[in-house]
Structure 1
Amino acid sequence: MPLPAWQPVGENFTLSCRVPGAGPRGSLTVTLLRGARELVRRSFSGESPRARGAVLTAAVLARREDHGANFSCRAELDLRPHGLGLFENRSAPRMLRTFALSPEPPRLAAPRLLEVGSESPVSCSLDGLFPASEARVYLALGAQRLHPDIILEGDALRAAATATASAEQEGATQLACSVTLGRESRETWENVTVYSFPAPLLTLSAPSVPEGETVTVTCAAGAQALVTLDGVPAAAPGQPVQLQLNATANDDRRSFFCDATLEVDGEVLSKKESTELRVLYAPRLDDSDCPRSWTWPEGPEQTLRCEARGNPAPSVHCARPDGGAVLALGLLGPITRALAGTYRCTAANVQGEAVKDVTLTVEYAPALDSVSCPERITWLEGTEASLSCVAHGVPPPTVSCVRSGAAEVIEGLLHVAREHAGTYRCEATNSRGSAAKTVAITVEYGPSFEELSCPSNWTWVEGSGRLFSCEVDGKPQPRVECVGSRGTTERVLLPLAPPDPSPRAPSIPSEPASGIYTCNATNQHGSMVKMVAVSVESPPKMDESTCPSHQTWLEGAEAVGPACAALGRPSPQVSCSREGGPWPQRIHVSRQDAGTYLCLATNAHGTDTRTITVGVEYRPVVAELAASPPGGVRPGGNFTLTCRAEAWPPAQISWRAPPGALNIGLSSNNSTLSVAGALGSHGGEYECAATNAHGRHSRRITVRVTGGRELGRGCLSQRCGWWHRWK
């Protein structure tokens, strides 16, 4: 069976496939397909071998996704069990179109009233369409079919068109819309009233007249319209309204308004028309458009305007009466002080001219310059003076000066005193701003000495690097010289802090000399003299000459301490200590007193220290005299005698041997005596003597050269010896 042209979504339709003459039917299989997918498959096995042909029928529910799908039938004859092959045949595919259409009517959007000759947008929309692109729309205004633009959004459709009414359609008519999809349609309509309402006609007897002439204004409209001219209504619909006036300058550019109203289908419609009257008249310079006085702030760009009323539009020219500067009217430009002054403005057109004098004032903030308000002012003590600063500015500024840190304004004539010196802040103020300036006032006066700043008695300390400070009060700063006036200091210049740089000043010694000096202070306002007594002192100083760094004591002697003295004024006190302990007034010198001592010299101007090394010397003592080997010596044998002495400074060692003892050897410092190949003459008493600057000490030892022996050792009163006894 053929498929339906359109099938509603959600409803069943019948698929039928007929395979005529195919057999045997028992070997036949028939399949209904949607595209390549099997919908229904049936095998006719078991049928009579003589049966031929087959029919397969199925009911299918239409869906959206079936729209545009192809349906077909496939027949398979399987003769392979009979020794033949599998035979297959397909039908031509049939395409199915499905659709869905909302039961609701379309929605119309259209004006209730439509004026002849005017255009108005209309639209027809419907939701719930599938497929929306297959829908057909019919939109018409009366018998006039419209050609809408179709806009699709998913399952929604909107048809938009522009409706233009003609005079033939005037009156009541219908706007109809029909949407068709598949085998179904949805329709709707709206009533529209078409009307005719021409614009009112507003006329002037003359569009442009000279001042003083009469002008007639007429307002008219269609037969059914009621007109109003500047608020005055006509007597009845369809009748015109007129207005007459004597033209004046104030009527120039006057607008007239003509209103027309028309009632259509219970709704009142209106239209308006306007026109402008031009009145020709001579220029007029009013204060509102061209003020007699202009005031501008200096700096920002401004547009100078002097406008004249008149028709035709007058030209305006403003210049100084003396033929000087001309104002650039209507142009944006900077305002400068040079523009200030009086100008004559002339306005002219073909009807005449007008003249007016205007004054331009340029205001600017105050300024305090160095001429009218100097930064530095000098007054003389005892005179009369006033602090006055003049400022430039428009409007004229007020100026006040206040001392820094004070609140009182300085005014009037002052009797100058030193306390008037200082820094003042002068401020000028007007409506455009303010300016401030710092003014330093110096009060000058003659020199004067003060004991604290220039003492009558001064002590100079050697090495301090300090110069005599004689500060003198005075303005300008006085020049001070202190010159010796008596004895060794006569005509000697006392070095001052700072030193006098004058090349004519006497030479300055490396250190001042004690004595009396005359100090003279001078500036342009006078001079003053003062006598100064100078004394020279110095801090302690120790050197090799006053405190030798190496000193020697003798053991057993009496000592009062290191020999140290110090130079300085006043005379320093000197004390020495060892390892932080004080030095006793007197000691009996022992070897333990040797070492390092710190000596400290002190006076009012400081201290000096010096490190002293003390050595203690003592008489020699032979501490040990020994033989090696410790026993006696056989003839031909070797022996050594060793002598050790204690002494400072170190002792000189000397030996005395038995008479006839030869071939004796001594070490480099004589501390060792040695004999190789002892003979009988080497036997006897040997003496070792130690000698230094402080004395001599000796010890003896006896050596025996023989056969077998007993050896012994003994010491008797500064004498030690070796002896032996034959066995």
Structure 2
Amino acid sequence: MAPALFWILFFPATVFSFVVEVSPKNAMFRVGDQEEVRCTMKDCAHTPEFSWRALEDRPMYVKTTTRGSESVLTYESVKRDHENRLICTASCGGDSKQKQATVKVYSFPEAPVISGHERLVLGKDATLSCKVLDVYPGQETELEWRDESGVLETHRGTESMRTLELNVTVTPTREGRNITCRALHHMRGVPAERSSIQTTVTLSVPYAPIEVQLSGSDEVEVGATLTLRCSAVGKPLPQVQWRGPQSAGQWLQDEGGLELVVHNVTHANAGQYECQASNFLGQSKTSLFVIVQGPPRNTSLTLSPRHPIREGESVTLSCRTVSVPVGEVRLLHDSKGKMTKMLSVKGSEINFTLPAAQLNQSGLYRCEASNDYGNQTNSTQLTVTAYPLQVELLPVGVVTAEIGSTLSLTCQASGCPLPQLSWGAPSTEGVLRGNYTEGPRSELSLKVNDPAQEGVYTCHARCGSITASRQTRVNLFSFPSVPIIERSGSQLEGGVSTFECAVTDVYPLESFRILWLYGEEELPQQTPPETTLTPAPTLTATLVSSVSMVMKLSHLGHPLTCQVELQMEGVPSGQRRRSAVTHIDVHHPPRNTSLTLSPRHPIREGESVALYCRTVSVPVGEVRLLHDSEEGVMELLSVKGSEINFTLPAAQLNQSGLYRCEASNPYGKQNNSTQLTVTAPPRNTTVEVLPSQRVMEGENVTICCRSISFPPPIVTLTKLGNGTEISSWSGTFLLTNLTPSDAGDYQVNFTNDLGNNTQVFTISVMERRLTPSRNWEELLIPAVVMGTTLAFAALLLDYVFRARRKGSYELAKCNPSTA
């Protein structure tokens, strides 16, 4: 009992006496810092155990470390997502306790950023911008502008805001004053030293350089010292740069800064000097032109064009110098040791022109320049030479021209800029007028229509005292048209035809040749070509040649060519030969007349069939297509020509028969024929029972079967029920001495190669009481045999006749009187 009482009294003291604490309980962490939350157990006799959990549904993103009686949550870099309420559960033995810690997060940078103060412009309002980046929570932050007078602008953040921005407009009157942007964080728990940050700037209004001045002497003698000084006003203080004649267009920073000094001045130092003052807002510059005085220099004497100069050409002598101050320039000519002054001017340049240089103007020329400081000369040699005159006449050699055309001769002179050109006529007397001359080129255009224009043409050229000439010969021809072939005599096969070939307006006659060609074979001419002169003043004539031929059928359609050749040099190849061709037409009566079918017969009824009627006939005559039918001869088509194409789009039985193609022309006629057969299966079938389908016992009946078809059908009579079957070519059946057993249904079947047709009918036999019945088959068979034999013979004759006439067949009608 005593031990039990001991545990009851002692156990609560050992289990419930341990203490759990968290630090800090209400944490305020800044974003980006490294922070810790600790959970500590005291007075635990056992090994403690710790666990952490977040009350808000988000990850903790922390590192947990347990060392003895303490558990540490480490935030390596605090983030906004670390805001939470944390529970630390500590277990000692079998019991546990919990403690809660709250973690709040804020973000506040080191200092606001002010912009816009560096862009202040003199005399203009400016807007300054203050930004505080990465603030949190936004609704707990505030931004304000302040100066020595107090608060200018304020702005409170919002919950969603991460960047605070506040603008303020400043006027030029604030020049030199300070302005402050302060950011405040009002969140409870933020350390006081971190709850306020600020940035202060001084307002300074810069301006670009102004009042740039350049001073110093603008005239200096060679060898003296040049001193120039530059001044300017600006904020910030401008930097000075110099640019002068020897700086190659680049700005140079002189060691003297505002002063530029050039010692021992030369002419190269003369020119434009510029001073440029600049700062980051802009630049300004001014300039001064400096003149360096001294004796003449760079004196030159040039020729244009450069020598050698051809006699009669223009040449300009240019005498130039650089002289400060300006003095006198003279141009002198040394002719055979004697110096002659050509021109003298007050200045620095002479341009002297010899419009037509002569040989005696060759020699040494001198340019002499002088001023108060000295003189300088320069000289050059002028050489005047004669022109090497050459003449070219185009076309070269012999020129062949067609009468009635325009001939152009071109004379080209070279080696002389302004030659004198003229033309000589073929007779070498006089000079041709009306030619076109421009510079060293002359063109002579001739309308070739006069016999006197054939001969030698000469081009004369003169350049000063030098002359030259060239000649060419002009030959004329005329071959303007193709020959014409005319035919006379008989055109009928076996007759003689004469062909005459004439070519007009030809020249020269002795250069022409006429050939007759039958295919590739040359034919002998009946007579030499005849010549008929064209009336004066032209030189042309007409050549005529003829050839005769006995007309043969083998000549039909063959070409007969009259070929005229001009055998003369210089004639273009396309004008040397002209030909006329006629195809020999031999007349004859129609022949090779044919009539064909497509497709070939037999033709099934309803099919399309084409009939082609053709013939060979010269001249073309008439072609007729005829049809021999039961109604007589019918003309289907007649045309003027040699061919008929006639189509029966849906052939019928009555269109069978003989067709004839008949061709005729003035010399005779010829025909040809063919048979068209149209076939069809049995149709329009009828069955007639005579005298009636109801007869008395012992009487006879005749069964007449009719059908339209070709070829003729086989007719089969079948008694339905017992299968008795008999056939007939004529379609007529005779049933004799009928008995009641012969009564019943009968079937007639019409059959040919193209199809069949069936008819069913009924025969009724009334019984005679007094007459004993006989088997109908015993009476029928002899009657049928005899009737069939007679009918078949008649049918065969009728079939042959009809087949020849129209190609169709219809079973013969029954004669009731003979039934």
TM-score (normalizing by structure 2): 0.31
Question: Higher Cα Rg: structure 1 or 2?
Answer: 1
Structure with higher helix content:
2
TM-score (normalizing by structure 1): 0.34
